[in-house]
Amino acid sequence: MMEGLLVTCVATVSAGLTYFIHTKWRLNPVLVSAAIALLVSLFCESVSGGGSTLIEAIPFVSLGGTFVGMSAKKKVKSIYPILIAGFVFSLLFIRSSSLFEGFGGALGLSACISVLAVTGMQKVLKKTRVTVHKRKLRKSSY
């Protein structure tokens, strides 16, 4: 439970931090992502003593979180969908399939799925809200 919570926090914070830095200061998203991932992995290497599984997984989680945060402002307008996508990414990471274990790019694929799912969810909910509002307007006009 605590491990899952830590993974979720790391993914969400990495995603939010990456998005904030590259949109606020207009830096290259690759640079920001690589810098954050390198800092976290250096920290985890200095902290880890005997090869804890959780400490070994944290750099991967932060790297994947930074991929979520690399989304452009044109596609994701504010930071809140990024934070939700970071949370979704952590779920995908925790329950990742053993079929794709060791494949390079799986983190990026999970991040892409998270971002697309959250943007898809936003648009579906927006359309649902508009349809409900239109129906209410029609009923009130009688």
Partner 1 sequence: MWDLKFLREKIELTFAADLRTKTFYSLLLLIAAMQCLYVGAIVYEHSHRLEVWLFVLLFCFLIASFFQSRKKPYTVDFDSWRVAIWVFFGSLGTWWLREQGMGVVMAAATMGLIGSSFTLIPRAQSYFRQISAPVYCGAFIGMTSVQSDPVFLLLASTFTLVLFVMGRSLIQGVGGKLGTLAFIGVILAYGVHYSFKWI
Contacting residues toward partner 1, per CB under 8 A: 27-31, 33-35, 37-38, 40-42, 45, 59-60, 62-63, 67-72, 74-76, 85, 88, 91-92, 95-100, 102-121, 123-124
* Distance in Å, CB of 56 to partner 1, minimum: 9
* Distance in Å, CB of 123 to partner 1, minimum: 5
Contact between 64 and 89 (Cβ < 8 Å) = yes
Q: How many CB atoms lie within 10 A of CB 43?
A: 14
Diameter of the chain measured on Cα atoms: 73
One-letter identity of residue 68: V
CA count, 13 A, side-chain hemisphere, 1: 0
One-letter identity of residue 110: S
The residue (of 48 and 136) whose beta carbon lies closer to partner 1 is: 48
The residue (of 49 and 102) whose beta carbon lies closer to partner 1 is: 102
The residue (of 12 and 71) whose beta carbon lies closer to partner 1 is: 71
* Distance in Å, CB of 138 to partner 1, minimum: 24
The residue (of 47 and 116) whose beta carbon lies closer to partner 1 is: 116
Contact between 32 and 18 (Cβ < 8 Å) = yes
